Amino acid sequence: MTLTPQQAREILETAEQVCSAAEVAKVVARMAGEISTVLAESFPLVLCVMRGSVMFAGKLLPMLRFPLEFDYLDVTRYGSSTRGGEISWKMTPGTAVAGRVVLVLDDILDEGRTLAAVREKLLAAGASRVYCAVFAEKDIGRAKPARADFVGMRVPNRYVFGFGMDVRGAWRHLPEIYALKED
């Protein structure tokens, strides 16, 4: 269900900021250093998971001062909902992954089902190694089927939005992160 502009404004007005824009920038810079240490010599294929990781990728990639190839994939469990459902593949990478070191960039590691499916698909396509970098990992209090190799920050077990993460299609473009008001 699409939000009206007024509904979107009300969501932001009642939300709690959990990470400022300045904190986001520091996290991305730290992650760029960590990723560079591990992958600088591998000429990786970097895959941005659409649409959520666009902001993360846009801030991170200019900080990676080593050769890489860039592409994207489009997979989701959320659509316009605030609850995850079945995995939906909209686009797989156009670049061949066979024999490549691949770095997957995603906005958030929530339950881990999407990241596990992405890793499995890339390894089945012949990737020699798949690394995953997520800007945020949600503390859900239970084991996940996938782990990220690089994690920017931990967020509470609440619905969060901003810096690539949306709430019913809105507020993905914010430079900071918010959590929905708790009921």
Distance CA 95, CA 82 (A): 31
Domain ranges of the chain: 5-9+21-170
Distance CA 47, CA 3 (A): 30
Half-sphere exposure (CA, 13 Å, Cβ side) for 169? 8
- Sign of the Cα torsion 44, 21, 163, 156 reads positive
Residue 154 contacts residue 139 (beta carbons within 8 Å): yes
Chain mean pLDDT for the chain: 90
- Sign of the Cα torsion 110, 17, 134, 38 reads negative
Residue 152 above 50 pLDDT? yes
Residues 175-182 have a mean pLDDT of 93
Task: Spot the catalytic one: 74, 106, 107, 110.
Answer: 110
Q: pTM for the complete prediction?
A: 0.89
- Distances from the Cα of 84 to the Cα of 17, 87, 111, 148, angstroms: 23, 8, 9, 19
pLDDT tens figures, 64-117:
999 999 999 988 765 544 455 577 665 566 678 999 999 999 999 988 888 998
Cβ atoms within 10 A of the Cβ of 177, count? 28
pLDDT tens figures, 15-44:
999 999 999 999 999 999 999 999 999 999
Amino acid letter, 16? E
Domain 5-9+21-170 maps to which CATH number in 3.20.10.10, 3.40.50.2020, 3.30.70.100, 2.40.110.10? 3.40.50.2020
Q: What is the DSSP string of 29-57?
A: HHHHHHHHHHHTTS-PEEEEEETTTHHHH
Q: Spell out the alpha helix ranges (H) of the chain.
A: 5-14, 21-39, 54-60, 113-124
139 is catalytic: no
Cβ atoms within 10 A of the Cβ of 42, count? 17
Distance CA 1, CA 146 (A): 29
Residues 125-141 have a mean pLDDT of 94
- Beta bridge pairs of residue 133: 105, 150
**Would you state the structure tokens that stand for residue 177, as one six-digit string?**
């992160």
Ranking 35-39, 50-54, 124-128 by mean pLDDT, the lowest is 50-54
